[in-house]
Amino acid sequence: MPDAGDAYRPARMLGLMARSLLLPTARPTGSGRTLDPAGGVSVTYVGHATVLVRLGDMAILTDPVYSSRLILPKRLVAPGIPLAELPPLDVVLVSHGHMDHLDVPTHRRLPKTGTIAVVAKNLSDLVAGCGYRDVVELRWGEHVTVGDVTITAVPVKHWGTRNVWPDDRGWTGFVLEHRDGTVFFPGDTAYFPGFRDYGARWRIDVALLPIGAYNPPAFRRVHMNPEDALQTMVDLRARWMVPIHWGTFVVSYEPIEEPVTWLVELAHERELVDRVAVLRHGESRRFARDAATPKAFEQS
């Protein structure tokens, strides 16, 4: 069990972020090669909350951040897929307006050909001039269909202020429904009982669940630790979980590798290891919806 930590101190947090500037940026462990979904769901971990999801002919990128710095924190691992090697994007999702989830320079640089941005409420102005064919705002309970994918906005437990003063920016999770699979992406969230309702409503194949930024303990009001994430996977009745929001930027007290190490230990202890698919930066997995067992996936 990791150290419980102590109270939040802004000076300590700023010091940790500043020290990250002295660390080298590592190369991704994975090949960066995406997998054809082949009748299932293909997932590639780019870094932090940026994930490439492929469903049929659709390519969806979540909370894209490609910048080498977020004002102060430095990127510690290069993006798992280089920007120039991204496939044509059909949809870009934006869960909320925090700098580590909505990076305007990245949105300007993303390759776009008729790409649609689907964002939480009151975020469209931040990406409106970035070259998207359309920007669609969704409030909780609303949905939009793009190609073969229906995207529904659902409540999660987080917050959405872009700056230090209240600005009525929204935040949301997304459920992606396609004939070949259903994916849950909460962006950033703490644990809350509503996940059980989503598990009853949707047959979720892959849940992309954040596991970092839980120390100091006060951060768990808006973030999950690995134990929370595993419980969320169970509540969602998700066949598989892919951990996100770890290993890329220093945004909290815990050591950068601690979340994923702790998650793997817990998964073994609770006999859930076959449902937890840890992807390093640049690694991909294909999850077959018609597989008889959760062990049926392919990795690259």
* pTM value surpassing 0.85: yes
pLDDT at residue 251 in the model: 93
> What are the tens digits of pLDDT across the range 155-192?
999 988 887 667 889 999 999 999 999 999 999 999 99
DSSP structural state of residue 22: T
| Per-residue confidence band for 138, with pLDDT thresholds at 50, 70 and 90 | very high
Sequence-ordered strand ranges (E) for 48-191: 50-55, 58-62, 91-94, 116-120, 134-138, 143-146, 149-154, 173-178, 181-185
Residue 277 CA to residue 223 CA, distance in Å, equals 20
Residue 3 CA to residue 280 CA, distance in Å, equals 24
**How is the chain split into domains, by residue range?**
25-286
**Tokens, residue 190:** 């703490």
Sequence-ordered strand ranges (E) for 167-247: 173-178, 181-185, 206-210, 240-244
| Per-residue confidence band for 117, with pLDDT thresholds at 50, 70 and 90 | very high
Side chain identity at 246, as an amino acid letter? Answer: W
Which has the higher per-residue pLDDT, 147 or 164?
Answer: 147
Q: Considering only CA atoms, which of 265, 255, 96 is closest in space to residue 186?
A: 96
The three-class DSSP label of residue 147 is: coil
Choice among 9-13, 28-32, 192-196, 275-279 with the minimum mean pLDDT: 9-13
Residue spans of alpha helices (H) in 74-193: 104-109, 124-127
What is the chain's percent helix, strand, coil content, to nearest 5? 20, 25, 55
Residue 106 CA to residue 12 CA, distance in Å, equals 28
pLDDT at residue 298 in the model: 62
The answer regarding whether domain 25-286 maps to CATH 3.60.15.10 reads yes
> What are the tens digits of pLDDT across the range 30-71?
999 999 999 999 999 999 999 999 999 999 999 999 999 988
Percent of the chain with pLDDT over 70: 95
